[in-house]
Structure 1
Amino acid sequence: MIVITAPTGNIGRHLLPLLLESAPARGEELRVIVRDPARLSDTVRERVEVVTGSHGDAAVVDRAFDGADAVFWLVPPDSSMTPDDAYLGFTRPAANALAVHGVGHVVGVSALGRGTPVADRAGLVTVSLAVDDLIAGTGVAYRALANPSFFENVLEEADSIREKGVFGDAADADRKAPFVAVADIAAVAAGLLLDRSWTGTGSVPVLGPQDLSPNDLARIMTEQLGRPVRYERQAFDDLRTTLVGHGLDKAFVDGVVDMKRAKDDGLDAGVTRTPGNTAPTTFEHWVAQTLRPAVLRSAGRS
C-alpha cells in the first residue's frame, strides 16, 4: 500500500497517474489523502482508496497510514502560519503515525541546501530540512527529494508576461541556478515509491538539465513565446512589503525573503550536476508545453 498526500497539487497530479499506470501490475494498492475528493476524477476515485481530510490532522494520518508500506509526503505551505507551525507542526502528527504503524519507506519533497554555509539561515528551506530530520528520526527509510526552484513558479507571472512582457523575482539577474519541472520530480518520486530496495536516509537531488539565470529565462521565454519578455528584479525589502500587504503571516514572509536571499548567496549551488541527478525537461520545452498555453489562456480572459 502506497499513500499519496496532496494528490491534486503541483507534484501529486503528475505522480498519481504514474503510480496508477505501474502500481497495479506490481500488486500495489494506492491510497490518497485529500481534503476534497471531488477534485479527483471519477476514474481515479474508482481506482484508489480515498481518505478525506488534511494530512496535518492526527486522526486522518492515523487512519491513512494503517497498513501502509510507503508514503509520499508533501507539506502544503500555509502562509497564514509561522514557518515552524506550517512545516514542523503540520508534520508532527504524521511522524507519530509513521512510527505507530511501522511504515517502512517515505519519500518527501524537500529542497537543496543541506551542508551549505547558508543552510541555517535559509528561511523556509531551513524549516524544510528540519522536517526531513523529523521524519528520518522516526526510523523509516527516508529519501528527501532535494529540489531547486520550480519552472512552475513562473506561471504566477503569466498575466504580467502577457500584459507587460515582464516577470519578476528577487534574484540577481545574472545569477545562474538550477531549476526543475514538477513532472520530473514526480517521476523520481514514483521510481522510489515503486522500487523500495533502498534503506537508510538520504537526499536525492533533482536538477534540471542546466543552470539558468533570470536573464536566461527571459531570453528563452522571448524565443518560445514570440514576444519580448524581460526580467525585473525586486528588492528584498519591497518583496517583504508586498507579501505582508497580501495578508501573509509576517514570520512566514520573513521565511520567504530569507530563502530567496539564501538562494542568491548560493543555497542551491551545493550539488554537482551528474547524469544521475539531471532531470530531462528543458525550460524551452516547458515554456512551449505549459507556459505558452497559460499565457494564451490569460489573453482569452481579458
Structure 2
Amino acid sequence: MIVITAPTGNIGRPLLSQLLESAPAAGEELRVIVRDPARLPDTARGRVEVITGSHADAKVLDRAFEGADAVFWLVPPDASRPPHDGYSGFTRPAVQAFAAHGVGHVVGVSALGRGTPVADRAGLVTASLAMDDLIASSGVAYRALANPSFFENLLEEADSIRDKSVFTDVVDADRRAPLVAVADIAAVAAGLLLDRSWTGTDSVPVLGPQDLSPNDLARIMTEQLGRPIRYERQPLDELHTTLVGYGLDEEFVQGVVDMKRAKDQGLDAGVVRTPDTASPTTFEQWCAQILAPAVRS
C-alpha cells in the first residue's frame, strides 16, 4: 500500500497519474489523503482509496497509514505560519504515525542546499532540511527529493509575461542554476515508491537537464513565445514589502526572502549533475507544452 499526500498539487497530481499507470502491474494498492475528493482526477475514481482530511491531522494519519508500506510526504506551503512550524510542526504527527503503524519507506519533497555555506540561513529551505532530519530520526527508510526551483514557478508570472513581456526574480541575471519540471520530480518519486529496495536515509537530487540563468530563460521564452521577453531583477527589500502587503506571516515572508537571497549566493549550486541526478524535461519543452498555453489563454 502506497499513501500519497497532496495528490491534487503540482507534484502530487502527476505522481498519482504515474502510479495509476504503474502500481496495478506491480501489485500495489494506492491510498490518498485529500481535503476535497472532488479535485481528484477522473482517472482515480474507484481506483484509489480516499481518506478525506488534512495530513496535518493525527487522526487522519492514523487512518491513512494503517497497513501502509510507503508514504509520499509533501508539506503544502502555509504563508500563515513561521517556516519551522510550517515544515517540522506540520510533519511531527506524521513522524509519530510512521512509527505507530510500522511504515517502512517515506519519500519526501525537500530542497537542494544541504552542506552549502548558506544552508543554515536559507529560510524556507533551512526549515525543509530540518524537516528531513526529523523524518530521518523516526527510523524509516527515507529519501528526500532535493529539488531546485521549479519551472512551474513561472506560471505565477503568466499575466506579467502576457501583458508586459516581463518576468521577475531577485537573482543576478547571469547566475546559472538548476531548474526542474515537477513532472520529472514526480517520476523520480514514483520510481522510489514502487521499488523499495533502498534502505537508510539519503537525499536524491533532481536537477533538470541543464543550469539556466534568468537571461537564458528570457532568451528561450522569446524563442518559444515568438516575442521579446525580458527579465527584471527585483530588490529583496521590495519583495519583502510586497509579500507583507499581501498580509502574509512576517516570519514566513522573511523565510522567503532569506531563501531567495541564499539562492543568489549559490544555494542550489552544490551538487554535480550526473546521469543519475539529471532529469529529462528541457525548459524549451516545458515552455511549449505548459507556459505558452498559459500565457496565450
Q: Same fold (TM over 0.5)?
A: yes
How far residue 264 of structure 1 moved from its aligned partner, in angstroms, is 0.6
Aligned to 1:34: 34
Bigger mean CA offset, 285-294 vs 42-51: 42-51
Aligned to 2:229: 229
Distance between the aligned counterparts of 1:170 and 1:43, measured in 2? 39
List aligned pairs for 1:280-291, cutoff 5 A.
Answer: 280-291=280-291
Aligned partner of 2:240 in structure 1 is 240
Partner of 2:106, secondary structure, is strand
- The match for 2:217 is 217
Which residue number in structure 1 is paired with residue 120 of structure 2?
120
Q: Which residue of 2 aligns with 1:164?
A: 164
> Which whole-Å CA distance do the structure 1 matches of 2:137 and 2:114 have between them?
17
Q: Per-residue deviation at 1:45?
A: 2.5
Rounded Cα–Cα distance in structure 2 between residues aligned with 1:201 and 1:41: 32
Following the alignment from structure 1 to structure 2, what is the Cα–Cα distance between the partners of residues 147 and 177? 11
Give 2:92's aligned amino acid.
Answer: R
- Report runs of 4+ in structure 1 exceeding 4 Å deviation: none
CA distance in 2, matches of 1:170, 1:224: 23
Find the aligned partners of 1:76 and 1:43 in 2 and give their Cα distance.
23
Which letter does structure 1 place at the counterpart of 2:251? A
For residues 40-51 of structure 1, what are the structure 2 equivalents within 5 Å? 40-51=40-51
Residue by residue over 1:47-95, the C-alpha shift from the partner in whole angstroms, topping out at 9 and shown as x without a partner, is 0000000001111111101100000000001001111221111100001
Aligned to 2:135: 135
Q: Number of residue pairs matched?
A: 297
Cα shift at 1:173: 0.6
Q: Please state whether the residue corresponding to 1:61 is helix, strand or coil.
A: helix
CA distance in 1, matches of 2:81, 2:203: 27
Aligned-pair distance for 1:174? Answer: 0.6
For structure 1, the residue ranges without an aligned partner over 5 or more in a row are 298-302
Q: Name 1:300's counterpart in structure 2.
A: none
Q: The residue matched to 2:46 in structure 1 has which SS? A: helix
> Where in structure 2 are the equivalents of 1:1-302 lying within 5 Å?
1-297=1-297
CA distance, structure 2, for counterparts of residue 41 and residue 280 of structure 1 = 25
CA distance in 1, matches of 2:41, 2:245: 36
After superposition, what is the alpha-carbon deviation per residue over 1:25-52, rounded to whole angstroms, capped at 9, x for unaligned? Answer: 1111000000000101343121000000
Q: Distance in 1 between matches of 2:62 and 2:201?
A: 23
Q: CA RMSD in A?
A: 0.6
**Distance in 1 between residues matched to 2:160 and 2:77, nearest whole Å:** 24
Structure 2 unaligned regions, length at least 5: none
SS at match of 1:106: strand
1:119 and 1:81 mapped to 2: Cα distance? 21
Return the alpha-carbon distance in structure 1 between the equivalents of residues 257 and 243 of structure 2: 10
> What do the CA deviations read for 1:135-166 (whole angstroms, capped 9, x no partner)?
01000000000000000000000000010000
Q: Deviations along 1:158-216, whole A, 9 cap, x unmatched?
A: 00001000000111111000000000000000000000000000000000111000010
TM-score for both structures, normalised by structure 1? 0.98
Give the TM-score normalised by the residue count of structure 2. 0.99
Counterpart amino acid of 2:296?
A: L
Q: Distance in 2 between matches of 1:209 and 1:17?
A: 23
1:43–1:284 distance in 2 versus 1, CA, 3 Å: closer
Aligned partner of residue 63 in structure 1, secondary structure: helix
